Amino acid sequence: MKINLKTSQEEQRRMSYSTDASQISGLALNVVIPETIDETRNAVRITESIVPRGGGTGLVGGAVPTKNTIIDISKLNKILDIDINKKIAYVEAGIILDILNNELEKHGLEFPVQPSSHSVCTIGGMIATNAAGSRAIKYGKTDSWVQEVEMINPIGELIKIPKPDVKDFAGMEGTTGLIVKARLKLIKKPARKAALYEAKSKEEVVEAVRKFKSNSKTSMIELYDSFVSKILGLEENYHLLVEFEDSEEIQEEKDYKEIMNVRDSVYPYLAEKGYMIIEDPKIFLDKFIPLAEFLEINSIPYYGHIGSGIIHPCFKPKQEKLIDAVMELVRKLHGQATGEHGIGMRKEKFLDETEKKLLRRVKERLDKNNKFNPGKLITMKKEKVEELKEEQIHEVFSNE
């Protein structure tokens, strides 16, 4: 039986797939949009070099092709089963988080991990990056909620990955296989309320965060510096957006949504001001003040999930040296270069040699021929990946 792979070789389609939310430029030689698992397996079998793509919401170039084929899993978007009693959802990897949670809400359930891109990100992408998000203070990262993954290996076999081995795929950014299905643990959706708190100094911020973290009902602590606060229409001071679950105090749904809309407005407003690059270092709370002082001295706006230690310094294009300086300070403060966005094409240089060796070991065991997402997370031997300029992309297309 002939399989219809819904491929596209038109220049405009490939151009649209040659970048993602990171704004890094690449080159898609071909785009495959399978609608079934069998089509996906066949595409993997016959394709030499593959970049998996879900919602394209990544900020480090994880879905940017480098002269290879995109496999877009967005049409693998079915909810296959919801076990209400066991609180388990069985889904295809292309399902968008908000669509899944809207359906789960009908049963009083929820998948609790909440990245900022919740309205467009896919479950497969969340697993691939091991997404954290605003509620990580209470619920941790995505891998804590994945019971089983089904993935396609380099020779096109569909393999079930049990919970103990999920770590070889969660956070590996699509470099070890193509995730197509997952069994997810759920929670009973709690009642929530939210509030905004103002702080006039960094010391007040730290004191308030410690206080809120000691409350078991706290599920989110977001921080906005004075610059971000101002563009959100708040007073030009520090602000904390704090969410509580199962609080005795009832909040009207419209009031809750109004406050949460503040959180969802941050990136669009920053992008309007030219801040297109959002970094995600993770630090301990007692190291926040020296990091914040450096950011403010250098006029770098920031916000973040301070409850779980993730800070988002915001940069304009061509500020690479400033980004490097921030990451060097994070290293000196014993922090991590990435708390949730992943390594992608941007952050390998910030990994230490031990981290690189561990990642290479997993990659070589599961994808020794470097078929999946080459040039991402970790560079393999004989591999050289460069970001392509827009004029180079047009030159390649015009010569075909």
Residue 395 has pLDDT above 80, yes or no: no
Task: Tell me the average pLDDT across 271-293.
Answer: 97
| CATH class label, 10-72 | alpha beta
The CATH label, of 1.10.3720.10, 1.10.10.10, 3.30.465.10, 1.10.10.350, for the domain at 79-188 is 3.30.465.10
Q: pLDDT value at position 248?
A: 77
Q: How far apart are CA 28 and CA 31, in angstroms?
A: 7
Q: pLDDT value at position 95?
A: 99
Structure confidence by residue, pLDDT tens digits, 218-228: 999 999 999 99
Q: Residue 315 pairs with which residues in a beta bridge?
A: 277
Q: When comparing pLDDT for 116 and 92, which is higher?
A: 92
Structure confidence by residue, pLDDT tens digits, 169-205: 999 999 999 999 999 999 999 999 999 999 999 999 9
Nearest CA among 336, 332, 358 for reference residue 347? 336
Residue 289 has pLDDT above 80, yes or no: yes
Average pLDDT, the chain: 92
Residue 4 has pLDDT above 70, yes or no: no
Structure confidence by residue, pLDDT tens digits, 272-282: 999 999 999 99
Domain borders along the chain are: 10-72, 79-188, 192-333
Provide the CB-side half-sphere exposure for 43 (13 A, CA): 29
Residue 390 has pLDDT above 50, yes or no: no
Q: How far apart are CA 56 and CA 63, in angstroms?
A: 6
Q: pLDDT value at position 387?
A: 47
User: Is the Cβ–Cβ distance between 307 and 221 less than 8 Å?
Assistant: yes
* Domains 10-72 and 79-188 fall in the same CATH topology: no
Q: When comparing pLDDT for 370 and 398, which is higher?
A: 370
Residue 1 has pLDDT above 90, yes or no: no
The b-or-e profile of 175-198 (16+ CB within 10 A means b, else e) is bbbbbbbbbbebbebeebbbeeee
Q: pLDDT value at position 382?
A: 57
Q: pLDDT value at position 394?
A: 37
Q: How far apart are CA 222 and CA 81, in angstroms?
A: 33
pTM: 0.89
Work out the pLDDT band at 7, boundaries 50, 70, 90: low
Classified as helix, coil or strand, 268 is helix
Structure confidence by residue, pLDDT tens digits, 306-355: 999 999 999 999 999 999 999 999 999 999 999 999 999 999 999 989 99
Structure confidence by residue, pLDDT tens digits, 358-389: 999 999 999 999 999 999 999 886 554 444 44
Q: When comparing pLDDT for 251 and 87, which is higher?
A: 87
